[in-house]
């Protein structure tokens, strides 16, 4: 049996995990005796030892084990059961055999998701280009337009009230063809119908919806020229600036507070069922009533995971002309959070180019049809924002999808690094759809890291080989193989609802690169299974500066584990997404999937604002601002 050295014992100290005071910590730092370790633990702090078939730790010093001891929400020790029992000695402990047939891995981290947007899509009628496996069953993918129309007719017939709007999400014109209000009128001439596109950047309404919302021809003609140009009144189709002009008219019909809360609860249960123990929204909410709504669910003490928020620097930099005021107002947002929600200090989200689902990326070579992408921030504003937050010492997360967009990001990083050098800045390239090999080398040289969405390949490579990008660019999207070869830290995210918030599925996408047709798109850009697991655990923690607390199973870290039916590093790679999830251990507490129970949140929704027009408009404004952070 491997013996514990003095250094190992000190390393396995609770590091604040128990009720240790400063003098107690001194005992740990100076002592190697089990007696002293026992003295440091309060007599009321009972140790729980979880025994498992296998534990994947991601600790290079002890990569595998079959027992882990926890106390007060932290990891005390990792090893064999006999090693841990010897270490604990006469101190009170219990051995929990719940997971003796399971595999324990570090707790999954949803490094980039959007709760409010997910809540709205999850509470709508999902009719999308892929299957959605929800806690209450699987919603199968739409086959074609005829299938969509048939399922919409069925959904319309299931609603009780004749006036209740029908909101659906997931339609994709590149897959199913253009959709018009005339076609939607055949589903119902009296019920308002709202079709929210898979890209989240466009809506199509039937005539009843336009009439109920007051979108008359006179109202439409009063809109600014850019909004009218990005609308088709006759077709009931509104996108980009046209969509933003439409929002005040439709907000109260599509942003119902009760539906929002139900959607948040569904999102909670969905993510927990996928093994998530910690999550983050970059580009977080800047409307207090909307944040209160989120807190009403996500701040609850019964939450099976914590959720954090990174501010939206794009909006903040536009609001304040004074650079110091930008930083001061950013810091004030910390007061909005509490309970199981938290503010991420000294991190900010910026935006470069447009979304991949609407082919609005800025690319070096033209799209096949000759259209142009879009910039999400004007160059001067982007460069000012980068400089202001860089000089304040912030870690900057930047939404960027196209290779031309990536050029702008890397240029700004290089200028600021030369002007004001910083070490360990962790500037994060978010989404990373289309890139060039030399850009990977430049990412490495400049010390940036990557947060990638591997689902782009699975969902879009086939279609974008035909439209938009062409075969080569489409197949080389999300070049994780190059990142791995270069030794660049990368994490994986779903950008929920742009992809299912399912870490095992994201791993499967990254490792296999199997497209919707079943072929493999550029196998050289595949991730290794271990790198993919690290990308939803330890590297995701690193991207959020949480690696000292989360991401691996090591003494002193939070006791956050995902409990699986099999080992994702040893199963056939095509079986990774099929591995069952028992549930999680989050800060030492067991949560079986499907067992979440809503308790009163520590931060309540002000009831006076819930049903107001202002709340609905604030909520829908945030949702549609956040879609511009999507892939």
Exposure class string for 27-39: b at 16+ Cβ within 10 A, else e = bbeebeebeebee
Q: Residue 589 belongs to what H/E stretch?
A: strand 589-592
Burial class (CB in 10 A: 0-12, 13-18, 19+), 596: buried
Instruction: Answer yes or no: are the C-beta atoms of 432 and 451 closer than 8 Å.
Output: yes
Query: Measuring CA to CA, which residue among 474, 568, 476, 575 is closest to residue 528?
Result: 568
The Cα 383–Cα 560 span in angstroms is 38
Instruction: Answer yes or no: are the C-beta atoms of 307 and 343 closer than 8 Å.
Output: no
Using DSSP, state whether 420 is helix, strand or coil. Answer: coil
Q: Please report where in the chains the tokens 């080569």 appear, as a residue.
A: 472
The Cα 588–Cα 607 span in angstroms is 34
Confidence (pLDDT) at 255: 77
Name residue 425's beta-bridge partners. none
Query: Measuring CA to CA, which residue among 186, 206, 183, 202 is closest to residue 194?
Result: 206
Confidence (pLDDT) at 32: 31
Instruction: Answer yes or no: are the C-beta atoms of 82 and 1 closer than 8 Å.
Output: yes
Confidence (pLDDT) at 601: 44
Confidence (pLDDT) at 620: 62
The Cα 229–Cα 197 span in angstroms is 18
Confidence (pLDDT) at 357: 87
Q: What are the residue ranges in the chain where pLDDT is below 70?
A: 1-44, 595-631
Confidence (pLDDT) at 20: 33
Distances from the Cα of 426 to the Cα of 267, 314, 350, 417, 430, angstroms: 29, 19, 14, 12, 12
Structure tokens at 218: 């006179």
């Amino acid at each position: 049996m491997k013996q514990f050295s003095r250094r190992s014992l000190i390393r396995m100290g609770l590091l604040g995990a128990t009720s240790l005071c400063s003098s107690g910590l001194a005992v740990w730092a100076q002592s190697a005796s089990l007696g002293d370790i026992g003295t440091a633990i309060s007599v009321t702090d009972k140790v729980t030892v979880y025994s498992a078939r296998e534990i994947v730790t991601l600790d290079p010093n002890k990569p595998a084990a079959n027992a882990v001891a926890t106390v007060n929400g932290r990891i005390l020790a990792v090893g064999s059961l006999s090693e841990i029992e010897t270490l604990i000695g006469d101190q009170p402990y219990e051995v929990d055999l719940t997971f003796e047939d399971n595999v324990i891995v570090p707790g999954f981290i949803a490094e980039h998701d959007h709760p409010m947007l997910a809540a709205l899509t999850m509470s709508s009628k999902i009719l999308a280009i892929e299957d959605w496996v929800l806690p209450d069953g699987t919603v199968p993918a739409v086959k074609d337009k005829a299938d969509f129309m048939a399922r919409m007719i069925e959904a319309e017939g299931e609603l009780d009230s004749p006036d209740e709007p029908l909101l659906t999400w997931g339609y994709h014109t590149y897959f199913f063809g253009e959709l018009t209000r005339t076609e939607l009128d055949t589903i119902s001439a009296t019920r308002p119908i709202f079709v929210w596109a898979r890209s989240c950047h466009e809506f199509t309404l039937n005539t009843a919806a336009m009439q109920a919302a007051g979108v008359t021809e006179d109202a439409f003609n009063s809109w600014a020229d850019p909004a009218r140009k990005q609308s088709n009144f006759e077709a009931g189709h509104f996108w980009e600036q046209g969509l933003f002009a439409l929002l005040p008219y439709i907000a109260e019909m599509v942003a119902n507070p009760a539906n929002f809360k139900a959607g948040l609860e569904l999102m909670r249960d969905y993510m927990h069922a996928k093994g998530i123990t910690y999550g983050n929204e970059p580009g977080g909410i800047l409307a207090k009533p909307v944040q209160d709504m989120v807190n009403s669910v996500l701040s609850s003490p019964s939450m099976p995971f914590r959720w954090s928020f990174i501010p939206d620097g794009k909006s903040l930099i536009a609001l304040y002309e004074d650079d110091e005021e930008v930083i001061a107002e950013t810091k004030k947002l910390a007061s909005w959070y509490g309970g199981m929600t938290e503010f991420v200090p000294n991190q900010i989200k910026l935006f470069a180019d447009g979304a991949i689902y609407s082919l609005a990326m800025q690319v070096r070579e033209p799209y096949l049809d000759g259209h142009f992408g879009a910039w999400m921030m004007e160059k001067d504003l982007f460069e000012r924002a980068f400089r202001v937050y860089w000089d304040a010492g912030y870690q900057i997360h930047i939404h960027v999808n196209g290779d031309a967009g990536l050029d702008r990001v890397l240029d700004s990083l290089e200028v600021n690094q030369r002007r004001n050098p910083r070490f360990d800045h962790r500037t994060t390239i978010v989404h990373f759809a289309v890139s060039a090999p030399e850009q990977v080398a430049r990412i490495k040289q400049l010390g940036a890291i990557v947060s990638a969405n591997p689902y782009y390949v699975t969902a879009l490579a086939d279609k974008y080989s035909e439209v938009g990008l062409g075969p080569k660019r489409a197949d080389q999207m999300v070049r994780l193989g190059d990142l791995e070869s270069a030794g660049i830290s990368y994490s994986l995210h779903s950008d929920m609802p742009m992809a299912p918030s399912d870490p095992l599925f994201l791993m499967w996408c990254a490792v296999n690169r199997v497209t919707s047709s079943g072929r493999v798109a550029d196998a050289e850009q595949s991730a290794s299974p271990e790198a993919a697991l690290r990308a939803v655990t330890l590297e995701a923690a690193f991207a959020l500066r949480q690696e000292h607390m989360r991401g691996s199973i090591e003494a002193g870290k939070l006791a956050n584990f995902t409990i699986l039916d099999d080992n994702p590093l040893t199963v056939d790679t095509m079986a990774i997404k099929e591995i069952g999830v028992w549930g999680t251990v989050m800060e030492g507490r067991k949560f079986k999937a499907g067992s979440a129970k809503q308790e009163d949140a520590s931060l309540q929704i002000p009831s006076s604002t819930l049903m107001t027009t202002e709340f609905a408009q604030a909520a829908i404004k945030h949702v549609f601002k956040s879609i511009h952070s999507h892939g």
